[in-house]
Amino acid sequence: MTAETDVRERVLDAADSLFYSRGFSAVGMDEVRDAAGVSLRRLYSAFPSKESIVLAMLERRHEQWTTELRAVVDSRDDPRARILAVYDYLSAWFADESFRGCGFINAFGELGGVSPAVTSLIRAHKQSFQDEMARLADEAGAPPPLAPQLAILAEGAQTTAAIAGDPLAAGHARAAAEILVDAALA
């Protein structure tokens, strides 16, 4: 790992933790710098703006989400079980004590109106989830309208779990998904 890569990773780790726990607007560059343990000069050489940190952090979260979700889905053999594994993944995530909702939804709520670049990245992330649900529905032999229905259940569960502080939202979404999947495959 190069020194520049180390600085980038430290900044991204610090920014991710701060932004996710306190919000994007509430955290300034000085706080990110202090938490990362880097000079302001090093911070700005790695990331020329706060927006560039947010974009890099969201790109990293996208990769993490995609990898972790795919691992849970791929651990199941049956196509129906692969679809429902999405909600099992959500259940484990919601139960984590650091869970504060979807970082992409949070970012959109704070920055979507002021940063076209952030909005574009968030929309691409959400589209990739829609595409994943479409792939899973197709593998199960379900009609195409099932995929967006299942995605909406997952998105709604994320928001409900965050706002209500109730990790059981994933189980409720899973139960609804079972009904939809079984009806679609009947």
Q: What is the tens place of the pLDDT at every residue in 37-84?
A: 999 999 999 999 999 999 999 999 999 999 999 999 999 999 999 999
Domains of the chain as residue ranges with CATH: 1-48 (1.10.10.60), 57-185 (1.10.357.10)
**DSSP label at residue 141:** T
* Residue range 142-185, pLDDT digits in tens: 999 999 999 999 999 999 999 999 999 999 999 999 999 999 99
Structure tokens at 35: 């938490």
Residue 21's CB: how many other CB atoms inside 10 A? 11
Q: 43-82 in b/e burial notation, b at 16+ Cβ within 10 A?
A: beebbeebeebbbbbbebbbeebeeebeebbeeeeebbeb
Q: Does 2 have pLDDT greater than 90? A: no
Amino acid at position 8, single letter: R
Read off the pLDDT band of 4 (50, 70, 90).
confident
At 83, list the tokens.
Answer: 């679809």
CA angle 58, 62, 63 (to 5 degrees): 120
User: 98-146, pLDDT tens digit by residue?
Assistant: 999 999 999 999 998 899 999 999 999 999 999 999 999 999 999 999 9
